[in-house]
Amino acid sequence: MSEPDDKTEGPAPSWGPMRSFGRIRSRTLKPRQAALFDTLLPTIALPDPEAGPIDPKALMPEATEVWIEIGFGGGEHLAEQARRHPHALMIGCEPFLNGVGSALRHVEEMGLKNVRLHAGDARAVMAALPDASLDRVMILFPDPWPKARHNKRRLIQDETAVEIARVLKPGGRLRFVTDWKDYAAWAHERFLRTEGLEWQAERADDWRTAPADHVTTRYEEKQLGDTPPLFLEFVRT
């Protein structure tokens, strides 16, 4: 995989106060989704990460695995993975309120009991999680910030990669998917230089072909990027 054309000068900035996402809400919530914010969300909302550490075992004691999806969009991928893996606690983070509303609808319609949602920045959640507490981290089609001067706003920075490695259990898996060539190269470079993350690809088809358990999303079907989806898979050593 080729290296990114990185025109950003200087070291990557701290990701603390800088947003790596765009809109928070684009349109008025549908009445049903708005109602679910009042009824369903309080029952499945993740504890406030700013209030202290989050113990996944306390959220679903019977869970045999803990997954997190960072930026779940409309929630269809998160919900389908939760349906397929009822034994796993599925943590979903999304700052875009219309996406949270859509995910709540999926959770209700599918009767899911293993989903916990955070309507905000996933990086605060990861910071509140214990070391080696996650079995899988999934990042599908994050905002690419394609202009070089905006690359510093991308979710994947060296600091984020280190934090992902910290919260993954040994043998835990990271999946990063994008339809922008430059972002794939950017993320690939940063994950490769992160201690504890081992890339799984052996040939080009390994990153060009969707994994068997991939769930196609509505965003993916729109084909808005400059390449078919690229799938980067890493394992925590």
Name the DSSP letter for residue 195.
Answer: T
> Which residues fall within 8 angstroms of residue 7, CB to CB, at 6 or more apart?
148, 149, 151
4 versus 45: the higher-pLDDT residue is 45
The question of whether 6 is a catalytic residue gets the answer: no
Give Cα separations from 177 to 42, 92, 136, 236 (angstroms).
30, 16, 14, 17
- Residue 177: helix, strand or coil by DSSP? strand
Say if CB 36 and CB 101 are below 8 A apart.
yes
**pLDDT value at 211 more than 50:** yes
130 versus 12: the higher-pLDDT residue is 130
Cβ-in-10-Å burial (0-12, 13-18, 19+) of 176 comes to buried
- Residue listed under structure tokens 């809109």: 23
| 156 part of a folded domain | yes
The upper half-sphere exposure of residue 94, i.e. CA atoms within 13 Å in the direction of its Cβ, equals 28
Whole-number pLDDT of residue 113: 98
| 24 part of a folded domain | no
Cβ-in-10-Å burial (0-12, 13-18, 19+) of 83 comes to middle
The fraction of the chain above a pLDDT of 70, given in percent, is 89
Whole-number pLDDT of residue 13: 32
| 152 part of a folded domain | yes
Whole-number pLDDT of residue 64: 98
Structure tokens at 18: 């800088």
**pLDDT value at 12 more than 90:** no
Average pLDDT over residues 61-86: 97
- Backbone angles phi and psi of 133, in degrees to 5: -110, -5
Count of domains forming the chain: 1
| 147 part of a folded domain | yes
Instruction: For residue 166, give the amino acid letter.
Output: R
Out of 48, 131, 143, 226, pick the active-site residue.
Answer: 143
| 21 part of a folded domain | no
Annotated binding site for S-adenosyl-L-methionine: 69, 94, 121, 143
| 148 part of a folded domain | yes
**pLDDT value at 175 more than 70:** yes
**pLDDT value at 19 more than 60:** no
Q: Which domain holds residue 83?
A: 31-236
Average pLDDT over residues 43-72: 97
Structure tokens at 53: 């550490």
> Which of 102, 97, 98 has the alpha carbon at shortest distance from 115?
102
State how beta strands 134-140 and 168-178 pair: parallel
Annotated binding site: 69, 94, 121, 143, 147, 179, 217-220
Round to whole Å and give the CA distance between 103 and 97.
10
pLDDT-derived band at 1, boundaries 50, 70, 90: low
pLDDT-derived band at 5, boundaries 50, 70, 90: very low
Average pLDDT for the chain: 90
CATH number at residue 122: 3.40.50.150
Whole-number pLDDT of residue 27: 72
| 127 part of a folded domain | yes
| 13 part of a folded domain | no
Round to whole Å and give the CA distance between 142 and 5.
18
